[in-house]
Structure 1
Amino acid sequence: MNNYELMVIFTPVLSEEDFKASQKRYADLVTEAGGEIVNSNPWGLKSLAYPIQKKTTGIYWVLEFTAQSDFNEKLKIQLLRDEQVMRHMITKLDKNAVEYNHVKRNGGFKNLDKATV
């Protein structure tokens, strides 16, 4: 099993219910393929760096998961077929990135003493 991070930018016209349904659909896709959800982080509505499909905002969602390497192609196909998805990016995480994300989730960087940095 490999560690991955999926970032999706959904179209800004989604309702809150549609956004949650889309999150659930992709999370279920991961678990049905034998993967495991590590963390789900909806960022919400954010400005885009450049317009996509004549839209200047998008609803961001980051999903950290573990899965087999062949699963990414199936996930990519589903994301490309979904008209609600404007952009997506799947990143394979190495052990340092997994550890960093774990510490960040648990508030470890807030407690760092500036003298130790």
Structure 2
Amino acid sequence: MLNQYETVFICTPVLSEPQVKEAVKKFKDLITENGGELIHDEDWGMKKLAYPIQKKSSGFYHLFEFKADPAFITKMETDFRRDERIIRFMTVKLDKYAVAYSEKRRKLRKAKSEKKED
């Protein structure tokens, strides 16, 4: 049985754009290689942190929404801890209400981006 999860992680700000994309690709591949299904991913870009983490005041934020086996989450979080490019991460299991909200948010975001193109 696959559960639906959402993970937000912050990459260190000293990385270049290609290095951040490489880190994101590593975790996308990790999800798909372990039988997970990537539903949505969002790049939030460079943001200021609410408080300093490892003497850094900003970081590159990224969000993944995916379906995976519960045992996989431990493996993924271990990889987050081992990767020096990641300064913080948080994974949340989504219940049916959160899944519905997430779908609604994606549709709204898509509609806004289509409206901007007009």
TM-score (norm 1): 0.90
Q: Which residue of 2 aligns with 1:63?
A: 64
- The AA in structure 2 aligned to 1:78 is D
2:36 match: 35
Q: Which amino acid aligns with 2:31?
A: V
In structure 2, the residue matched to 1:9 is 10
Q: 1:72: which partner in 2? A: 73
- Cα distance, 1:12 vs structure 2: 0.5
Q: Which has the larger radius of gyration?
A: 1
2:84 is equivalent to residue 88 of structure 1: no
Instruction: Give the TM-score taking structure 2 as reference length.
Output: 0.90
Q: 1: CA distance between counterparts of 2:108 and 2:51? A: 31
% same residue: 45
Q: CA deviation at 1:14?
A: 1.1
Structure 2 stretches of 5 or more lacking a match? 113-118
Q: Cα RMSD (Å) of the superposition?
A: 1.4
Instruction: Name the count of aligned residue pairs.
Output: 110
Measured in 1, the distance between the counterparts of 2:21 and 2:55 equals 24
Which 4+ stretches in 1 moved above 6 angstroms? none
In structure 1, the residue matched to 2:106 is 105
Report how far residue 21 of structure 1 moved: 0.9
**Distance (Å, rounded) in 2 between the aligned partners of 1:67 and 1:106:** 22
CA drift at 1:13: 1.0
Give 1:63 shift. 0.4
Deviations 1:29-57 (A, max 9, x none): 00001000000001010000000011100
> More helix by proportion, 1 or 2?
2
Tell me the distance in 2 between the aligned counterparts of 1:37 and 1:99. 16
